Structure 1
Amino acid sequence: MDHREPASDEEAKALASTLRLRILRICLGEAHTNKEIAQILGRDPASILHHIRRLVRTGFLQPQPQRRGTRGAREIPYLATGKSWRVSAPASGSTMLEAFLEEIALVSDQQADTARLGLRLSPSDFEEFRTRLQNLLEEVAQLPQDPSAPAWSLFLALHPDPNRP
């Protein structure tokens, strides 16, 4: 979908990591500390901090006010800025797919609602379809977020069908 601004080289590199895409998803709408993110991902906090710093440097994550942890340690929670929705990076397509596959593997088949559709549309019908999809996604992205509501994720890919000439 081409409503987004092209990413700078540094932004594109930041989005070219499935781990960083997953960190952004974890911090969407709710701030998490490095330790919390590492725990969710089952990774070492030191390696996660490297990714967090890159996301902060490129404006995809924003540090929130410092807080004290359970043992009095200084903790900085991070919140996704939503910038990844507004930029387009050439390599992010396959990276997004890989992040999706990692995340979908963590839920049961009964929890995932999937669909696949083959289309043959005239160029004008295709553009209308694409525009309507984009408008719907933009509309939903602008809805107020209810922190008490269940979290959902959507992955959408629109591509030429290489199996049907």
Structure 2
Amino acid sequence: MRFKREKWAAGGVPREFEHNLPFIYARAFLYALDAFDKFLGVLAKEENVPEEVATHHEKIADAFPHLRGVRNTAQHLEDRARGLGAGRNPQPLELKPIENGFINAPRGGVLVLNCLNGSKYGSTMSDGHYGEIDVSPESMLRLKEILEAVLSSFKWRGPRQHAPSV
């Protein structure tokens, strides 16, 4: 233990911290994506907002179908870790089959929490299915396209280009 403390005092990072960094970044991406989705959903219901905003909001669900389920599990690990679903009186999960490049459980029965399979962050969702979100440049590109489409749906006043003032 003394050796580890000396190493840490010299600026060394514990191996456990280094190992967990990708998981922390993946969850940060997941939470940011979820916040954007929620914000866009609220914006779509506001007065004087173009109808296309609701259509663009639906594109998030198409691009990231497991977003809400994976986010809810990340937020409620205490329930999933006990094998429980969602709600005030959560019921036991019926764990569904999982077959991907990392897990092969064709008969189900496997609870997966906080998993990174390449660039995909996944977990068992409250309905017992395994879901994942791709934490990748491709996902950021999809999100960027949706954001640009939302911004373009508004009628803007002023110059076409914003430049710094002198």
Task: Pick the TM interval, shorter chain.
Answer: under 0.3
Question: TM (normalized to structure 2)?
Answer: 0.27
Q: TM-score with structure 1 length normalisation? A: 0.27
The structure with higher relative contact order (CA 8 Å, sep 6+) is 1
Query: Rg: which structure is higher?
Result: 2
